[in-house]
A and B are shown apart, each in its own frame.
Chain A
Amino acid sequence: DTGVSQNPRHKITKRGQNVTFRCDPISEHNRLYWYRQTLGQGPEFLTYFQNEAQLEKSRLLSDRFSAERPKGSFSTLEIQRTEQGDSAMYLCASSLDGGLTPQHFGDGTRLSIL
């Protein structure tokens, strides 16, 4: 299966801990997106990359959040000093550049803060 892969699928941690999620996009896709989805809501945009460049960040992405895509392939999303409000599903998607192409989503990482 060469779809978008996210790890871990679930993460439970105590408030104040740091967490890191990984996303492996479809190999030929040069755009990679991170979204956050809270229970009962639609996803919200966090940030996106074109190759290794982070082109846009949402106001939702506070200074405790950082995302990287160092070699233009996989990406990591780190949350420092987690808070209760960070509990959500973190979704990654990828797409081909160069026009109106669909985004392909991973299964998400569900974060629960105790």
Chain B
Amino acid sequence: KNEVEQSPQNLTAQEGEFITINCSYSVGISALHWLQQHPGGGIVSLFMLSSGKKKHGRLIATINIQEKHSSLHITASHPRDSAVYICAVRSETSGSRLTFGEGTQLTVNP
């Protein structure tokens, strides 16, 4: 079992829909990251969380440390949101390295 599990693996939505991507992890962490990867490979850091909730524009990330679970929400989704969304954790014992989930491929249709 991977240390970081994401669901769903693939998600197709219509423009305007509210989207949720989930991440569960099995180790104690010092931080959790949500990343966005577009075709061609470039990765952009969206959020880094250690507790609570963060919001940036239409994106909201939450984390429940006790339940070892995080969610990424996208409100009023748009086709330009289409990308792979990756959850990654920095464990308490792994130094600086990140352990990644397999990613969620999001497609938003107009």
Asked whether A42 and B86 contact (CB < 8 A) given A33-B97, A107-B40, the answer is yes
Cα A79 to Cα B28 in complex, Å, equals 33
B19 to A: closest C-beta gap in Å? 19
Q: Which residue of A lies closest to B44 (CB)?
A: A105
By the criterion of a CB under 8 Å from any partner CB, how many residues of chain B are at the interface?
25
A20-34 near B? 1/0 per residue, CB < 8 Å: 000000000001010
Q: Is the CB of B42 within 8 A of A105?
A: yes
Q: Which residue of B lies closest to A44 (CB)?
A: B100
A75 to B: closest C-beta gap in Å? 15
Q: Is the CB of A91 within 8 A of B43?
A: yes
Cα A91 to Cα B40 in complex, Å, equals 12
Q: Is the CB of B43 within 8 A of A42?
A: no
Residues of B whose CB lies within 8 Å of any CB of A are 4, 30-31, 33, 35, 40-45, 48, 50, 86, 88, 90, 95-103
Between-chain CB contacts (< 8 Å), 10 pairs: A31-B96, A40-B102, A42-B4, A42-B86, A42-B102, A43-B100, A58-B97, A102-B45, A105-B43, A108-B43
Residues of A whose CB lies within 8 Å of any CB of B are 31, 33, 35, 37, 40-45, 48, 55-56, 58, 89, 91, 93, 95, 100-108, 110
